[in-house]
Structure 1
């Protein structure tokens, strides 16, 4: 949807793939990136880290009621016209892949999903800044989701919006209509899905 991410390749490779400067330097390999943790993102200002999950302080829904749950993933069908997302920015979350869980409750199987060609996957995302008590400002990000393609559908009813490298600037800087035109399922047959039985789910 995604449930968790993984990014183990050097950030320098990510920067090269995105044709941007490596402004972060060496980062640890991470096999289990969870909501609430820091993730690498690309914004119009370059690579940086943000907290995965938007704390919607002050945001309200269409009925004017406060949004209470932290926004980890945002639906593409409503992200451009829902009052809860008013004023958010756009970013890219570059990763090696993500995890989903499938099966019956208490017997779910973790699946690792990555590109068949080994290239990084680029998730469309939205950003916000939370002004925490004491004046602390926390940059936050949430992945944008859409209907699943044929590869992912047997595992989950949603998938993250994945972008081609050529569409990164259109997502970051294009109009809302241009960005929304990119929120479609990834072409089928380009993802590798395998059981993830080698991950320590307690750590990053």
Structure 2
């Protein structure tokens, strides 16, 4: 956790035991302009209604960078960062998919751009929720997937978290080629914590 805190530029982070995999609906460590906290991965857009005027309760796990600052579903949301040491992508036919582990070439951590909000559950309880932002794949990932998480350089954290929208928009681009390691991940223990 000390490595994660140093990477995020904060004195400390809440305890978060290492896991082989994180899935939507789970709590993930999230950096906001006000600090680090756990948030539920999956965002229910507040105030969004369907054609009949009923609230939309579908969960958004990823938000496309191309429409992030245009869609009304994302209006009023805040920006965040989700740290991780990599992610998995799956390729192949249904029921025969192959997992690929993607991690930084230098073995360090990655910072995924994200958006967040506090959803008000029935009864008024606040649930912090986050969705990661996706973009076109880098050259390293293109052969296995047509999208990838939007990764941020450490120098751009402050701009993403609290900079003007025009400056944050300039960060919506694929990660540079040659910086990610992509390998088969068939040996991962998916039953981990």
TM over 0.5: yes
What's 1:8 paired with? Answer: none
Normalization by structure 2: what TM-score?
0.93
* Helix, strand or coil at the partner of 2:161: helix
Q: Partner residue of 1:148?
A: 137
Cα distance 1:15–1:83, how it changes in 2: closer, same or farther (>3 A)? same
Q: CA RMSD in A?
A: 1.8
Number of the residue aligned with 2:118: 129
Query: In the alignment, is the contact (CA less than 8 A) between 1:60 and 1:84 conserved in 2?
Result: no
Deviations 1:130-187 (A, max 9, x none): 1111221100000001111111111111011100000000000111111111010000
SS of 1:31 mapped into structure 2: coil
Aligned to 2:4: 14
User: In structure 2, what is the equivalent of residue 27 of structure 1?
Assistant: 16
Structure 1 gap segments, 5+ residues each: 1-10
Given the superposition, is the C-alpha separation of residues 135 and 77 from structure 1 closer, same or farther in structure 2, using an over 3 Å criterion? same
> Is the CA contact 2:41–2:129 (under 8 Å) kept in the aligned structure 1?
yes
Spell out the pairing of 1:56-135 with structure 2 (5 A cutoff): 56-60=45-49, 67-135=56-124
**Structure 2 segments unaligned to the other structure (5+ residues):** none
Contact preservation (8 Å) 2:100, 2:185: yes
SS at match of 1:142: strand
Quote the Cα distance in structure 2 between the aligned partners of 1:181 and 1:65.
35
C-alpha spacing 1:125/1:134, structure 2 compared with 1 (3 Å) = same
Secondary structure, aligned partner of 1:106: coil
TM-score, with normalisation over the residues of structure 1? 0.88
1:200 positional shift? 3.3
Distance (whole Å) between structure 1 residues aligned to residue 135 and residue 16 of structure 2: 30
User: Deviation above 2 Å: which 4+ runs of structure 1?
Assistant: 64-69, 198-204
- Measure how far apart 1:55 and its partner are: 1.7
Matched, 1:161 2:150: yes
Distance across 2 between alignment mates of 1:69 and 1:195:
32
